[in-house]
Structure 1
Amino acid sequence: MTSSAPAARAHRRTALAVVLCAGLTAALTACAGEDPDKGTNGVGKLSAAEIDSKARAAAAASDAVRLTGKLVGKGGTYTLNMQLSADGGTGSVTSGQSTFALLRIGDELYLKADAGFWNHGSDDGHGSDGGDESDRSAADKLQGKYVKVPEDDPTYRQLRGFTEKKTLLDGVLTLHGKVNKGDRSTLGGVRTVQIMGGKGEGGTLDVSLKGTPYPLRVARGGGGGTLTLADWGRSFALEPPSEDDTVDYGGELPRSSG
């Protein structure tokens, strides 16, 4: 009985070692053979240039998108919350201390802001107290109402640019420099692959690995701001404001709208 005990223990140790080795081998084999693109749209297997092309094509083909975040340029910093489609756009833009709403349906562009927005900029630059009585009267009339921006007004093209899907996407999705592949990550629970201009100094773009390879986030190069892109293809209503919520200003808007 005594002589068989060590043999039994040795047998158990050998059996345990075999089991552990088999388990370790299986785990290593699984890790080595695991496909990082399993369950994805397969875009992560492509080159950076191919991912860039597919993301741009997906964005162009989509009927709608929501852009939120900041754009930084020579004209200042703009915080956007805009829904865009081929037919127009609606949402808000904040610049400095002013926030204004924009609504475009086709070529008809409407602007709504408070009195502070309309008064801002009416200063003549020589220490005046914020414009003359007519400027203040106009601001009181326009505040909180949609104003149809005349197409020949100097600010029409600038304001319309915030509502144009193609114009905004063409600008923000452009990466500068050679396009390279970055890391994989997740955004809002969606797996993504990143592409970047250069080593990131030319901007970065996070592309969805689920379903259609839409761009989900863009960080513009040179500190040009970061935008989130969501609600791809989700339709939204574009309806003219009611007469009660509209003021017909007439000719050229006050300089403050620029």
Structure 2
Amino acid sequence: MRTRKSALVAAMCAGLAATLVACGGEGDKDPDAGTNGVGKLPAAKIEGKARTAAGSARAVRLSGNLVTKGRTYTLNMRLKDGGGTGQVSTKGSTFELLRVGKDLYLKADEGFWSSQHGKSAEAGQGASGDAAHKLDDKYVKVPSGDPSYRRLTGFTDKKVMLEGLLGLHGEITSGDRGEVSGVRTIRVLGGKGGEGGSLDVSLEGRPYPLRLQRAGRAGVIRLADWNKDFTLTAPDKDHVLDYGRQIPEGP
């Protein structure tokens, strides 16, 4: 009896396997099933769709490391049309930025301001110990005419950051499929072996870029919270101090 049952189970399994093969079963599963379909496109078109999706988004969060002009920045910024807010670290210093419209505010601790005083004392800039204490954890409004304004405001400008980050260099080719934070992605590569950077593009929903490896090992940036709006509010006047002189060059 057991032999007859075993033979029956084997026959059923064989029939099921044959049915799966005939229907293009598990062995031939379509990798694009349930996706947005961009994985079927040529690599250059995938990159183009990712850039278009990013450009049309109202908001995004950028986090990771960015290397530019020999300096490494660690970013955690939320950006939207009209401003941005978040934290930037470089060379052991950390500061917060907040931009509401054209108004840019900088907040840092006493150690940051003291270190800036040490770097710029010879130029007559920076904060003395007493001034650094007063500036501790207070917002400083950066004058629009200050040399630091343009450099710092770039960190809070969604369009500037995305246009500067998303470009790949060299011939664009398709890479492997994977996941970023649980979202299925396809990677596009710039240059030979990805030497021109790489971009992981979402295969779910809109084809937003989710992870960027910059060319020349110039940092890795994650992009998240696409189109998730947030509120930007200028700090209370009681929490804003007038630096009184030019912002140090340190940031």
The answer to whether the superposition gives a TM-score over 0.5 is yes
Deviation at 1:190, TM superposition (A): 1.0
RMSD of the alignment, in Å?
2.5
Q: Distance in 2 between matches of 1:132 and 1:151?
A: 18
- Answering whether residue 204 of structure 2 is matched by residue 210 of structure 1, we say yes
Question: What amino acid maps onto 2:95 in structure 1?
Answer: F
Deviation at 1:122, TM superposition (A): 2.8
The residue correspondences of 1:237-252 to structure 2 (distance < 5 A) are 237-252=231-246
Q: Compared with structure 1, are the counterparts of its residues 10 and 245 closer, same or farther at alpha carbon in structure 2 (3 Å cutoff)?
A: closer
Identity rate, percent: 50
2:29 to 22, 34, 45: 34
Q: Distance in 2 between matches of 1:98 and 1:54?
A: 37
Question: What amino acid maps onto 1:123 in structure 2?
Answer: G
1:74 to 58, 64, 69: 69
Deviation at 1:156, TM superposition (A): 0.7
Q: Compared with structure 1, are the counterparts of its residues 191 and 153 closer, same or farther at alpha carbon in structure 2 (3 Å cutoff)?
A: same
| Conserved 8 A contact 2:114-2:127 | no
Q: Compared with structure 1, are the counterparts of its residues 243 and 25 closer, same or farther at alpha carbon in structure 2 (3 Å cutoff)?
A: same
What TM-score do you get using the length of structure 1 for normalisation?
0.87
- Name the residue aligned to 2:48: 53
Deviation at 1:187, TM superposition (A): 1.6
What TM-score do you get using the length of structure 2 for normalisation?
0.89
Deviation at 1:19, TM superposition (A): 3.6
**Structure number, greater radius of gyration:** 1
| Conserved 8 A contact 1:150-1:251 | no
1:87 to 82, 85, 89: 82
Deviation at 1:77, TM superposition (A): 0.7
- Name the residue aligned to 1:3: none
Q: Distance in 2 between matches of 1:117 and 1:207?
A: 37
- Name the residue aligned to 2:153: 160
Number of corresponding residues: 247
Stretches of structure 2 lacking an aligned partner (at least 5 in a row): none
Q: Compared with structure 1, are the counterparts of its residues 54 and 13 closer, same or farther at alpha carbon in structure 2 (3 Å cutoff)?
A: same
Task: Tell me the SS of whatever aligns to 1:118.
Answer: helix
- Answering whether residue 185 of structure 2 is matched by residue 192 of structure 1, we say yes
Stretches of structure 1 lacking an aligned partner (at least 5 in a row): 1-7
Q: Distance in 1 between matches of 2:55 and 2:219?
A: 21
Deviation at 1:17, TM superposition (A): 5.9
Question: What amino acid maps onto 1:51 in structure 2?
Answer: I
| Conserved 8 A contact 1:204-1:219 | yes
